Amino acid sequence: MKNIIYISICFFIVSSLITSCTKEVLDKAPLDSYTDASVWGDLNLSEAFVNNLYNVIPNAEHNWDNTTNRTWALSSACDEAYNKFDDYNASIMNSGSLTPDNIGVFDIWSKNFSVIQNCNIFLSKIDNVPGDEALRNRLKGEVIYLRAYAYYQLTIDYGGVPLITTPFDLNSNFEVPRSTYEQCVDFISTEADKAAAILPVAQSSANWGRATKAAALALKSRILLYAASPQWNPTKDVSKWQKASDAAKAVIDLNAFQLFTGNYSDIMTTKNSELIMARPTNKQYMWSAFQGVEMFLSPSGFHGWASFAPSQNLVDAFGTADGKDITDPTSGYDPQNPYVNRDPRFKADIVFDGRPYGNPAFCQDRYGVGSTNAAEFFEGGLDSPQGWDTWNNSVTRYTFRKYCDTTYNYNSETQTNKFWVVSRLAEIYLNYAEAQFYLGKEAVSIEYLNLLRQRAGIKNPLPALTGTALENKIRNERQVELCLEGHRYYDVRRWKIADVTENKPLMGVVIRKDASGKRTFTYTKVQDRIFKPQHYLLPIPKEEINRTKLAQNPGYN
């Protein structure tokens, strides 16, 4: 029996299949499915097959399941944020009750192996598909990258997983043992090199969002950084840090990207020189504003959901405008006047009490009751538990500004075209700075940290930090620069500090305003968090263990 390969008609229209209108209706091929022979006999259909594989890459939508942007789940499953509605089962993680039976939509095992199977099918067929050789090679490079990306996601969640590179069929032996973590890292790194050798450094504007040489090398940089880190490198093997350093430098040496120097808030919402890989989303295929970033991140007084709210833990990671930590006695930080003189990235990424948010024209109802577009998280304010849309108020009294497009009215317009940033130059600089630090080249590490801090608007360079002080600063810079980008969850695990950071209460603030307008800030616990040793990795789902007899991760038996 021929396999039927289903491909969403959203991605393509094949004119040859919608002509011949004189044929009987029952003689026409269905437009939402194609036979094996059709897909592997027409390069346009093969390209459509590849388009569907891009679903393994996160996008800018919110779909309440594991097909969506998992960054939201990751953010609320670490000390970065709180998810009021528990959309992705993060409460299971945070309460210490995670088991192979209850991981729910946080799990990506089946989804990613389904993508890998389809990648394997494509790679087994593509060389024999007739058509333009350049297009065929480009698609092959993209699929090699996408398969590597799927394995990267599995490996950082579960450790070593089965490495499967040929398509399964009904006669296959599904009991493939787990490869080691090191074998998986070697595979991902090698595949990234293969993809990089085929793909262009950058795609044409018409193909923006497709994999490139730079995207493949950026993936290699990230997985080798993880492999060199304490979680997977307890012996402090310097050669692993050298590989991580070389991989990051290879991206830098492409000289194809520059740090974005425009409005910092626009990095994540406008195409710019810093973006290495991004996944675009077309508003035409989004069913409502409910899927949009602005709706589920914005404050309740702006009729958003405040669904993923920054923690006080994250807010406290942002230093002062002159580059000092708020814990530095010379920083001038005042916990009773906490939002003044802060790192410019704080205002760019976080909506806090008193911060203007969005276009005043889009929130005239606030002005109609004598307010403004400045957020009111104080008790009794429009964005407080006593304000508007109280079921959506932020529990931490903050919301994310990052990733929000404030140029349109999400309350009346369905959506705007978006993209999700998969990798950008700032991450590569941070990867390189960290690797250089562990290679003993502290001056180079500081140089790259300063490039990011200066771009953000911090004029004072870092002092000549060394040792643990510099290590902590590298980690702090990642926490601030890359917040809400899906990194923090994995960073605290690969650094083996999650047993500290994730065993602390998640904090917020309660703000009270007296008759004179003076505010009082009380820092309060939002949620107790419990992290157990086994949580450094996720459990393999129980049904997969039962089906394949794979070895379970430690602590979950």
Say whether pLDDT at 231 is over 70.
yes
Type of residue found at 71:
T
The rounded radius of gyration (Å) of the Cα atoms in the chain is 24
Residue 449: give the domain boundaries.
422-506
Q: How many separate domains does the chain show?
A: 1
Statement: residue 22 has pLDDT above 90? no
- pLDDT band of residue 177 (cuts 50, 70, 90) is very high
* The pLDDT of residue 284: 66
Confidence of residue 34 (pLDDT cuts 50, 70, 90): low
Instruction: Go through 479-506 and write b for each residue having 16 or more CB atoms within 10 A of its CB, e for each that does not.
Output: bbbbbbbbbbbbbbbbbeebeebbeeeb
Q: Which two tokens stand for residue 33?
A: 């499915």
Alpha-carbon gap, residue 167 to 115, rounded angstroms: 11
Helix, strand, or coil here: 272?
A: coil
What is the chain's length?
Answer: 557
> Residue 65 — pLDDT band, cuts 50, 70, 90?
low
pLDDT score for 192: 98
pLDDT band at 196 (very low <50, low <70, confident <90, very high): very high
Among 207, 195, 387, 414, smallest CA distance to 306 is for 387
* Band of pLDDT at residue 427, cut at 50, 70 and 90: very high
Q: Indicate whether 392 belongs to any domain.
A: no
CA atoms of 511 and 522, how far apart (whole Å): 6
Note whether 135 and 123 are within 8 A (CB).
no
Give the model's pLDDT for residue 275.
97
Q: Note whether residue 458 is domain-resident.
A: yes
For 146, 155, 326, 537, the CA distances from 194, given in Å and listed in that order, are 12, 19, 45, 28
pLDDT of res. 278:
95
Q: pLDDT tens across 149-164, in order?
A: 999 999 999 999 999 9
Q: What is the pTM of this model?
A: 0.93
With beta carbons less than 8 A apart as the criterion, state whether 69 and 286 touch: no
CA angle 270, 271, 272 (to 5 degrees): 105
Percent helix, strand and coil across the chain, each rounded to 5?
A: 45, 10, 45
How confident is the model at residue 412, as a pLDDT? 85
pLDDT category of residue 45 using cuts at 50, 70 and 90: very high
Within-domain flag for 547:
no
Structure confidence at residue 31 (pLDDT): 41
| Cα 58 to Cα 234: distance, rounded to the nearest angstrom | 31
Mean pLDDT score, 162-177: 89
Contacts of residue 367, Cβ cutoff 8 Å, sequence gap at least 6: 360, 373
- Write the single-letter amino acid at 331: S
Contacts 24+ apart (CB under 8 A), 258-266: 258/425, 259/425, 259/426, 259/429, 259/451, 259/452, 259/455, 260/455, 261/455, 264/344, 264/345, 264/348, 264/455, 264/456, 264/457, 265/348, 265/349, 265/401, 265/402
pLDDT digits 0-9 by tens, 445-495: 999 999 999 999 998 999 999 999 999 999 999 999 999 999 999 999 999
The mean predicted confidence, pLDDT, of the chain is: 91
The reported pLDDT for the residue numbered 106 is 85
> Is residue 204 a part of any domain in this protein?
no
Is the pLDDT score of 8 beyond 70? no
Q: Is the pLDDT of residue 307 over 60?
A: yes
- Which of 132-141, 242-251, 288-297, 467-476 is predicted least confidently? 288-297
Residue 29: the pLDDT is 43
Q: Is residue 433 domain-resident?
A: yes
In percent, how much of the chain has pLDDT > 70? Answer: 91
pLDDT at res. 60: 80
In this prediction, residues 267-295 reach a mean pLDDT of 82
Residue 462 lies inside a defined structural domain of this protein: yes
pLDDT for 520 equals: 98
Mean pLDDT of 216-225: 98
Name beta bridge partners: 513: 519
> What pLDDT does residue 20 have?
35
Q: Is residue 533 part of a domain?
A: no
Q: Could you give the percent of the chain with pLDDT greater than 90?
A: 80
For residue 413, is it within any domain? no
Tokens of 217: 């090398």
